Amino acid sequence: MTGSAIFLQQIVNGVSLGAVYALLALGFTLVYGILELINFAHFSVFMVGAFVALVVLQAFGLQGQSVILHGAPLVFTLFVALIVTMVVSGALGVLIERYTLRPMRNVKGPMAMITTIGVSYILFNLVLLATNAQAINFPDPMPQANYQIGGVVIRLKEILIWIVSIVLMVGLNLFVKRTKLGKAMRAVAQDPEAARMMGVDVDTVVMIAFFAGSALAGAAGMIFGLYYNFAQYSIGYTAGLRAFTAAVLGGIGNVPGAMLGGLVIGLIETLGSQYIAARWADVIIFSILIGTLVFRPAGLLGMLAPNRS
Amino acid sequence: MISRRLALRGTAVTAALAASGTNVAFAADKTYRIGITLPLTGADAEAAHLILNGALLAIKLANASGELKGIMLEPMVLNNATATAGQYDPAQAATNARKLAGDTMVLANVGPEMSGSGKAMAPILSMADLATITPSSTAPALTDPQFAGEFVPGGKPIYFRTVTTDAYQGPNMANFYAEILKVPSVYMLDDSGAYGVGLADAFAAQAKIKGIKVLGRDRLDPKAADYSAVLTKIKATSTSSLYYGGTMQAAVKLVKQSYQIVPSIVKGGGDGILSPEMMTAAGFPAAEGWYATNASPHVVDDPKLASWVALYAKTYNMQPDDYAITAYDAALVAIAGIKAVLKSGKPLIAANVRDAIQTVHVNGLQGPISFDKYGDLTTRVVAVFQFKQDKSAPLADMNKQTHYIGVAPQS
């Protein structure tokens, strides 16, 4: 491989990785934008999403990498699995909000955030016990198709990740910017009291934000499983922390910022591994988090949610 | 309370006498104990029971043959696992070691299975001069004179092994890469853990001596999911092989992603990847072709041992593995030590049995067994396996899904 081919290949690797981080970062950003709450349960919803997708794909009779589908059956299977995963993960998010966070809504201080850490650990340990801490082989019905451009290999899976991520991210952005519900969300983010007085049902808006964020985490979980072909109870934490960094980097509360942040973190990880060393990836990523917080607390694109007085 | 406790003790003694009365051939026989400490519950239970039965079989046969004149050996089986750990638990292993050390009728111990338990047990057993013979723990530190202060505070080696250590697993595999596979270059990876780093270091040092070009070294974060960047870097070096030191946590992802990015190069690792998870979690076709090693000879399929394997299978209703054989050998070592003390006329106590084990020569199932001055096996056999899918067998069946290649060349 030539130097430029290596560089471009690492860009391809980084963009795919960044897409997963970006999808996860959106969930953080959405909830933070509305409640100013960092939702650590998001890590585990992502992980549970991967397992939901695993169960759905297995229900289609897919085991490991032995069954390969093509054409319409492939699209149908993946589409159904994606919808089921997103609905189940979204519902899980709604349940978490309804039963653990809503009672804390008016409690000041870090109580709600600590509750999300608790919920995260409960889900983490439930899956740990259910799977005996084993990594599970994730079904992969996609053909092993590669496209070679110059010295750079792009896999069919990578193209799929990019398409699904872009569709979901653009869809979310349009939803927040263009729809009435999106407008209500932004209103609640700015001033929940005033929004309520204007007739906005704050509880419903918060519920929808949790549903959308968790559904995206579920989608990220399924994409993760298809891309890496494994699922394990621990996948939420490494990916989740990096996604959180991405959200802060882009400007927490800011939807395009989360996408940009995810992409930047993914690229830093792969280019850092190539030109420095893989073992330094975390050091570099979290140094960037600290640097951002110190020098540009609002993130690259700034926070959209204004500070409440 | 006292009378009640005495009464209970009386009942126990009567029961013990009754039980021994049915087993013991001669009324004059004196019963001594051999400890067996293994993680018998939780995640390690399956492997531990194979080991347990190997040791039990040796003790049973020794008692039946009457070779220990006037002595009966009673196995004292202690569980090294706890429910809270869900697997082996070094704290429990330490408790068990104290129990063994406090019992003057215990002459030696077989176990533990895991090096982590061994590290907790060794200092306690050392202070009691009580020998333990492990059938499977391979961490070099346990017998390394550099760590004697930590693991051998009593001064005399008490940690004997019927397997070799990771200090030979790595180098012997490097010899295999150089002499058998004839690879000109290698890229090194490890999983940042003590075992993985040590194994990879040992491999790399020997690989250089053997003239294999070490093109680079990277450390994987076992919790990370994406190794494509490192693998792209490896692809760019045009290396002809890859060696990975580490366990399954990173290996699951490494095996899958290396199949995508560097499918055709030679790939291998140590006993950390000689695991059913290679098939169940990493899966075929990704695992196909990977080499892995074991720190003991592969003798369970040897025709010479067919009658022993049949006896084991008949007695315990399960098929033995290589560590069942090293466990049988470990118990043979303890029995040989006891015999030597009896022959010498010295008092039959644990310290004298330890001294005897140090110099003993035993004809084990795996071949001749003797120890160096630190307690390590003098033969350093490392068996090499290759993963090859057998579609007719269950995925987790190690015997069917791996193919025995042979013994790695020794340095």
Q: What is the pLDDT of residue A109?
A: 81
Using the Cβ of B223 and the Cβ atoms of chain A, whether some distance falls under 8 Å is answered with yes
CA B180 to chain centroid: 26
Q: Which residue has the tokens 């760019």?
A: B236
**With contacts defined as CB-CB under 8 Å, which chain A residues touch B224?**
238, 281
Q: Is the dihedral of CA B89, B58, B158, B126 positive or negative?
A: positive
pLDDT band at B271 (very low <50, low <70, confident <90, very high): confident
Q: Is the pLDDT of residue B234 over 50?
A: yes
Q: Is residue B252 part of a domain?
A: yes
Q: What is the pLDDT of residue B20?
A: 42
Instruction: Note the pLDDT tens digit of each residue in A107-147.
Output: 888 888 999 999 999 998 899 888 877 788 999 888 888 88
Is the distance from CB of B75 to CB of B63 less than 8 angstroms?
Answer: no
Token pair recorded at residue B138: 């391979």
**With contacts defined as CB-CB under 8 Å, which chain A residues touch B220?**
278-279
Token pair recorded at residue B16: 């013990």
Q: Is residue B17 part of a domain?
A: no
**With contacts defined as CB-CB under 8 Å, which chain B residues touch A238?**
221, 223-225
Token pair recorded at residue B376: 């390590």
Q: Do B221 and A281 touch (CB under 8 A)?
A: yes
**With contacts defined as CB-CB under 8 Å, which chain B residues touch A230?**
252-253, 256, 281-282
Write the CA distances from B108 to A124, B34, B75, B130, integer angstroms.
42, 5, 10, 6
- Rounded mean pLDDT of B130-139? 94
Chain A interface disruption, residue of B84, B190, B226, B288, most A CBs within 10 A: B226
Using the Cβ of A158 and the Cβ atoms of chain B, whether some distance falls under 8 Å is answered with no
Using the Cβ of A237 and the Cβ atoms of chain B, whether some distance falls under 8 Å is answered with yes
From the number of C-beta atoms within 10 Å of its C-beta (0-12, 13-18, 19+), residue B387 rates as buried
Residues B200 and B287 in one domain: yes
pLDDT band at B222 (very low <50, low <70, confident <90, very high): confident
What CATH number is given for A3-295 in this structure?
A: 1.10.3470
Using the Cβ of B224 and the Cβ atoms of chain A, whether some distance falls under 8 Å is answered with yes
CATH of the domain at B223: 3.40.50.2300
Cα of B29 to nearest chain A Cα, Å: 46
Q: Is residue B105 part of a domain?
A: yes
- Nearest Cβ partner for B256 among A17, A230, A273: A230
Q: Is the dihedral of CA A114, A116, A120, A122 positive or negative?
A: positive
Q: Do B229 and A14 touch (CB under 8 A)?
A: yes
Q: What is the pLDDT of residue B355?
A: 97
- What's the CA gap between A185 and A192, in Å, rounded? 9
Residue A194 one-letter amino acid: A
Q: B-contacting residues of A 10-29, CB under 8 Å?
A: 10, 13-14, 16-17
Residues β-bridged to residue B244: B189, B269
DSSP H or E run through A299: none
Angle at B183 between CA B181 and CA B187, to 5 degrees: 125
| Domains held by chain B: number | 2
- Rounded mean pLDDT of B376-398? 91
**With contacts defined as CB-CB under 8 Å, which chain B residues touch A277?**
218-219
In this structure, are strands A146-149 and A136-137 parallel, antiparallel, or unpaired?
A: unpaired
Q: Is the dihedral of CA B202, B203, B207, B210 positive or negative?
A: positive
- Lowest mean pLDDT, pick from A78-82, B62-66, B261-265, B393-397: B393-397
Residues B253 and B391 in one domain: yes
- What's the CA gap between A132 and A135, in Å, rounded? 9
Q: What is the pLDDT of residue B125?
A: 97
pLDDT band at B24 (very low <50, low <70, confident <90, very high): very low
Residues β-bridged to residue B266: B241
Residue A9 one-letter amino acid: Q
Q: Is residue B174 part of a domain?
A: yes
Q: Do A17 and B228 touch (CB under 8 A)?
A: yes
Q: What is the pLDDT of residue A34?
A: 84
Residues B190 and B177 in one domain: yes
Using the Cβ of A136 and the Cβ atoms of chain B, whether some distance falls under 8 Å is answered with yes
Q: Do A238 and B223 touch (CB under 8 A)?
A: yes
For residue A66, give the DSSP letter.
T
**With contacts defined as CB-CB under 8 Å, which chain A residues touch B256?**
228-230
Q: What is the pLDDT of residue A298?
A: 84
Q: A-contacting residues of B 250-289, CB under 8 Å?
A: 252-253, 256-257, 260, 277, 280-286
- What's the CA gap between B29 and B252, in Å, rounded? 54
Residues β-bridged to residue B187: B216, B242
Q: What is the pLDDT of residue B2?
A: 39
**With contacts defined as CB-CB under 8 Å, which chain B residues touch A271?**
229
Q: What is the pLDDT of residue B4?
A: 41
Using the Cβ of A133 and the Cβ atoms of chain B, whether some distance falls under 8 Å is answered with yes
For residue A136, give the DSSP letter.
E
- What's the CA gap between B266 and A95, in Å, rounded? 49
CA B345 to chain centroid: 33
Strands (E), chain A: 136-137, 146-149, 152-155, 230-231
In this prediction the pTM is 0.80
Residues B182 and B252 in one domain: yes
Q: Do B220 and A274 touch (CB under 8 A)?
A: no
Residues B177 and B276 in one domain: yes
- What three-state secondary structure class fits A137? strand
**Residue of chain B with shortest Cα separation from A132:** B43
| Mean pLDDT for chain B overall | 89
Q: Do A230 and B286 touch (CB under 8 A)?
A: no
3-state SS string for chain B: CHHHHHHHHHHHHHHHHHHHHHHCCCCCCEEEEEEEEECCCHHHHHHHHHHHHHHHHHHHHHHHHCCCCCEEEEEEEEECECCCCCCECHHHHHHHHHHHHCCCCEEEEECCCCHHHHHHHHHHHHHCCCCEEECCCCCHHHHCHHHHHHHCCCCCCCEEECCCCHHHHHHHHHHHHHHHCCCCEEEEEECCCHHHHHHHHHHHHHHHHCCCEEEEEEECCCCCCCCHHHHHHHHHCCCCEEEEECCHHHHHHHHHHHHHHCCCCEEEECHHHCCCHHHHHHCCCCCCCCEEEECCCCCCCCHHHHHHHHHHHHHHCCCCCHHHHHHHHHHHHHHHHHHHHHHHCCCCCHHHHHHHHHHCCEEECCEEECECCCCCECCCCCEEEEECCCCCCCCCCHHHHEEEEEECCCC
Token pair recorded at residue B293: 């090693």
Cα of B221 to nearest chain A Cα, Å: 7
- What's the CA gap between B56 and B74, in Å, rounded? 9
- Rounded mean pLDDT of B43-47? 77
Using the Cβ of B7 and the Cβ atoms of chain A, whether some distance falls under 8 Å is answered with no
Q: What is the pLDDT of residue A309?
A: 36
- What three-state secondary structure class fits A231? strand
**Low-confidence residues in chain A, pLDDT < 70:** 303-309
Cα of A236 to nearest chain B Cα, Å: 10
Residues B256 and B397 in one domain: yes
Q: Do A6 and B221 touch (CB under 8 A)?
A: no
Q: Do B227 and A17 touch (CB under 8 A)?
A: no
- What's the CA gap between A289 and A267, in Å, rounded? 15
- What's the CA gap between A210 and A30, in Å, rounded? 8
Q: What is the pLDDT of residue A303?
A: 65
Using the Cβ of B220 and the Cβ atoms of chain A, whether some distance falls under 8 Å is answered with yes
Instruction: Note the pLDDT tens digit of each residue in B308-347.
Output: 999 999 999 988 989 999 999 999 999 999 999 999 999 9
**With contacts defined as CB-CB under 8 Å, which chain A residues touch B249?**
135
Q: Is the pLDDT of residue B178 over 90?
A: yes
Give percent above pLDDT 70 in chain B: 93
Is the distance from CB of B328 to CB of B50 less than 8 angstroms?
Answer: no
Q: Do B225 and A1 touch (CB under 8 A)?
A: no
- Rounded mean pLDDT of B16-43? 68
**With contacts defined as CB-CB under 8 Å, which chain B residues touch A228?**
225-226, 253, 256-257
Residues B142 and B178 in one domain: no
Residue B308 one-letter amino acid: W
Tell which wins on pLDDT, B112 or A140.
B112
Residues B235 and B364 in one domain: no
Residues B158 and B172 in one domain: no
**With contacts defined as CB-CB under 8 Å, which chain B residues touch A65?**
283-286
Q: What is the pLDDT of residue A304?
A: 54
- Lowest mean pLDDT, pick from A175-184, A297-306, B102-111, B373-382: A297-306
Which domain covers residue B333, as residue numbers? Answer: 29-165+303-369
Neighbour count for residue A234 (Cβ, 10 Å): 18
Q: Do A230 and B281 touch (CB under 8 A)?
A: yes
Q: What is the pLDDT of residue A238?
A: 84
Q: Is the pLDDT of residue B87 over 80?
A: no
